[in-house]
Amino acid sequence: MLKIMNMSKTYNNVTKACDNINLQIEPGDIYGFIGHNGAGKTTLLKSISGIINFDEGEITIFGKSIKTEPLEAKKLIAYIPDNPDIYESLTGIQYLDFIGDVFEVESNKRKILIDKYAEMFEMKDVLNNPISSYSHGMKQKTVVMGALIHEPKVMLLDEPFVGLDPKASYLLKEVFKELCSKGSLIFFSTHVLEVAEKLCTKVAIIQKGKIVANGLTEDVIKDHSLEDIFLEMLNE
Amino acid sequence: MYKSLLRIFFKENFGLKKFLGTDKKKSVGKIILIGLLMLYALGSFLFAFGSMFFYLGDMLNQLGLIEILLVYGFIYSTSLAMMFVLFRANGYLFNYKDYEILGPLPIKTRTVILAKVTVMLTFIYLSIIMFLGPIAFSYFYHSGFDTLSLILFIVASFTVPLIPTIIFSFISLLIARVTSKFRKSNLVNIILLFGVFIGIMYLSFSLNSVGGTNPLLNQRAFMESLSKYYPPIKWFIEAVNDHNFVSLLLLLGTNAILFTGFILGIQKLVISTNQRGLSKVTRKNNKAVVSKSRSMIASIAMKESRTFFSIPIYALNVGFGVVLMFVLGIASLFFTDEIQSYLSQFIGTGLDFELVILILIGFCLTTVCSTAMSLSLEGKHFSTLKSLPIKPQTVMYGKMLFNVLLGLPVALITIFLLSYSAQIELIRLFLMMIFTISLSLVITVYGSVVNLFFPKFDFRNPAVVVKQSAAAIIGIFGGFSILVVNGLLYYLITKSMSFEIGLLLVSSFNFLIFSGFLYFVNKKAESLFIKFEV
């Protein structure tokens, strides 16, 4: 379970990017995180993944605090940033091996998973090429594969569908469902309200660093569309 | 995990493709050309530096002061480490570009730091070998070779850059921290870095002239005074020269303790500075927005100046010659007598005052070669530039215009001021200015040609382009070669003709070369731009 308790983060002692955020994401949840540009989505995702520190509150991943037990917590996480900026001098397979080494994925299992996802994302023929020769979408797929080969309990994604072709987007959604069925949880930010509405079991809307609505998707949107709710909240 | 990280970091930093900017399979010709140029550059450096220290070693040996060579080795290595760390520690340790990749991974911070420092030290050791090699050769040749001395020398040399690395990492961080508080943080950073460098230069000059007229005989006193402030230098000399194992233990022990403490102690600092680097806060600026329209070339030159001031290592590398010229020019206003007495040393040596001034200015101008790297520095934005309705030639002209404006005005003013101090005739001053203009133009366009041949758009840190790209290295060495060719030409011409005619002909030669290179840029820029893939 991912628990975010009274979490706040201020930049330069002035700009409050996240303001007393409380969220609880259960295994099996596909949790969509929606907000305008600069609302605090990336700050929250980076705080959960231990990339940046936060000023107040606590974040735990299956009971492990990202502040006090970062290594144990990170072993359960896969974080996919909005920009797939990875080591370009490596080949795809070298990158995946590096991630496999970091997460100590046993070689046989690693091979099976790499084969499975390389096949799925149509990356088999290019894994031996340097990442510098990949398109944006291919880099994104490589990062996603890196995240999947260690079967994370918590998957954090920042705008994961940007740059993916329709087929890869569809496959990623299927992977989300598969992971959740095995007890993992997915927490991702998105601007694509339609995706959130159709895919997510739960959603949260963040505005100026504060969570203004969250819960089961059908409870949040009721008989409106998510787009209506989101725009209504922005205008308030 | 350390090994895995090291493998990746080495691949990211040392690959042949990183150096060339293109795939080695596609550029066999380039590799051969670069290999030959590098061999030439390395050979001429080792020959010049090696023979200087060989003769110095001979002289010192006769005076019974051969250990002074080790002092030189120690000081060169320390200075190189200081400079490297000052430039790079911030990018390697405190604001590393792959923090967002490594941050969420379950890797111990100290493992990452150790791997990063290992890569940084590898660069330092590689540069140190270039200087220590010839010095060591001279030392062992004159003092007599024995295996134990060599082993002690190698072991002790490994410790030399460690303490400077520790100290200057913090200075580099301090500069980055202080400057980040300013709105124009990069500009303040550049000014501070220049300040530190000029400070180091001033210190080394003042130390060299400690209380004596004969610097060679005074070296022992100099070494002793230096050892008082920095004992490792004494331990190094005693360990290598006297086979003193207590000194060796002191040297190794002190460095090991300090270095381990450094790796363990900076973990929190590394994390906090990297995290701070990620936070982007858009400040509100109430200043009225003013839009200005310029010609296309002026607009590109303006963009170049913004790039120049936004990358401290670029500004420092390319702008150092400009600052030196500026300091020289200003100093000439206040130290006219000293300049005249300095220049009078050359009477009877066959070198005119004018020539000495031109060598100084020429040397500074050859380092002002932003065009050898400015195209590469477009990086991933090159595709944006390519998509705009601008002719590739215009892009290159804009870049050239910026380089000329960066170096030439200061060079001309400095020549004027120095000529005034040295009371040089007006006609000679005019010819010197013509020559300076020709040199600036030829260096500028040469840089553009080099960068068109060796572009490198794929980089994480611009320091890689400025310090490690083929274009940057060929640009600088080629610039010096142009100056040397100018000198040879002048020497041959003035055997039978006057200074004035000599300078005029050398300037004409430069204008001719400039026209040839410019014609090449005009003809080839378009076809080369199309080939570049980003």
pLDDT digit string (tens) for B152-196? 999 999 999 999 999 988 888 888 777 767 767 777 777 877 787
Nearest to A12 among B99, B272, B281 (CB): B281
For residues B207 and B318, the model is more confident at: B318
Query: What's the average model confidence in pLDDT over A32-51?
Result: 88
pLDDT, position B211: 46
Smallest CA–CA separation between B359 and chain A, in Å?
42
Query: What's the average model confidence in pLDDT over B298-305?
Result: 84
Over 80: is that where the pLDDT of A91 sits?
A: yes
By CA distance, what is B280's nearest residue in A?
A11
pLDDT cut 70: percent of chain B above it: 86
Q: What letters, b where the CB count within 10 A reaches 16 and e where it falls short, cover B94-106?
A: bbbebbbbbbbbb
Q: What letters, b where the CB count within 10 A reaches 16 and e where it falls short, cover A16-55?
A: bbbbebebebeeebbbbbbbeeebbbbbbbbbbbbbbebe
Instruction: Name which of B23, B100, B270, B380 to mutate to probe chain A: the one with the most chain A Cβ atoms within 10 A of its Cβ.
Output: B100
Report the alpha-carbon distance of residue B1 to residue B112 in Å, rounded.
9
Report the alpha-carbon distance of residue B69 to residue B75 in Å, rounded.
10
Smallest CA–CA separation between A52 and chain B, in Å?
5
Q: What is the CA radius of gyration of chain B?
A: 25
Chain B contact set for A81 (CB, 8 A): 100
pLDDT digit string (tens) for A181-200? 999 999 999 877 788 888 89
Q: Is B11 on the interface with A (CB under 8 A)?
A: yes
Over 80: is that where the pLDDT of B288 sits?
A: no
pLDDT, position A61: 93
Q: Report helix angle B162-180 to B147-159, nearest 10.
A: 20
pLDDT digit string (tens) for B186-214? 777 778 777 877 776 676 666 555 444 45
> How many cross-chain Cβ pairs, A to B, lie less than 8 Å apart?
71
Among B356, B358, B361, smallest CA distance to B346 is for B356
Q: Which residues pair with A122 in a beta bridge?
A: none
Report the alpha-carbon distance of residue B456 to residue B532 in Å, rounded.
9
Nearest to B100 among A14, A15, A81 (CB): A81
Lowest mean pLDDT across A1-5, B353-357, B514-518? B353-357
Written as six digits, the tokens of B510 are 């430069």
With an 8 Å Cβ cutoff, are B281 and A53 in contact? no
Among A12, A6, A8, A2, smallest CA distance to A208 is for A8
pLDDT cut 90: percent of chain B above it: 24
Smallest CA–CA separation between B104 and chain A, in Å?
5
Task: For chain B, give every domain's residue range.
Answer: 1-11+39-279, 294-534
With an 8 Å Cβ cutoff, are B275 and A53 in contact? yes
Smallest CA–CA separation between B107 and chain A, in Å?
7
pLDDT, position B210: 47
For residues B383 and B121, the model is more confident at: B121
DSSP A114: H
Question: pLDDT band at A153, cuts 50/70/90?
Answer: very high
By CA distance, what is A86's nearest residue in B?
B101
Smallest CA–CA separation between B12 and chain A, in Å?
6
Q: Is-contact B346 B356, C-beta < 8 A?
A: yes
Nearest to A90 among B1, B11, B105 (CB): B11
By CA distance, what is A73's nearest residue in B?
B106
Q: Is A53 on the interface with B (CB under 8 A)?
A: yes
pLDDT digit string (tens) for B11-69? 877 766 666 656 666 667 777 777 787 787 778 778 878 888 888 888 888 888 888 88
Going along chain A from its start, the domains and CATH numbers come out as: 1-76+157-165+185-236 (3.40.50.300)
Report the alpha-carbon distance of residue A178 to residue A181 in Å, rounded.
5
pLDDT, position B343: 65
Over 90: is that where the pLDDT of A58 sits?
A: yes
Lowest mean pLDDT across B207-221, B405-419, B422-436? B207-221
Per-range mean pLDDT, top range of A13-22, B222-231, B252-261: B252-261
Over 80: is that where the pLDDT of A235 sits?
A: no
Nearest to B104 among A15, A49, A72 (CB): A49
Report the alpha-carbon distance of residue B509 to residue B169 in Å, rounded.
46
Its pTM surpasses 0.80: no
Chain B contact set for A38 (CB, 8 A): 282
pLDDT, position B29: 73
Question: What SS3 class is residue B353?
Answer: helix
pLDDT cut 70: percent of chain A above it: 97
Report the alpha-carbon distance of residue B490 to residue B468 in Å, rounded.
33
Chain A contact set for B104 (CB, 8 A): 49-51, 74, 77-79, 156
With an 8 Å Cβ cutoff, are B106 and A15 in contact? no
Q: Is A131 on the interface with B (CB under 8 A)?
A: no
Chain B contact set for A52 (CB, 8 A): 275, 278-279
ipTM above 0.90, yes or no: no
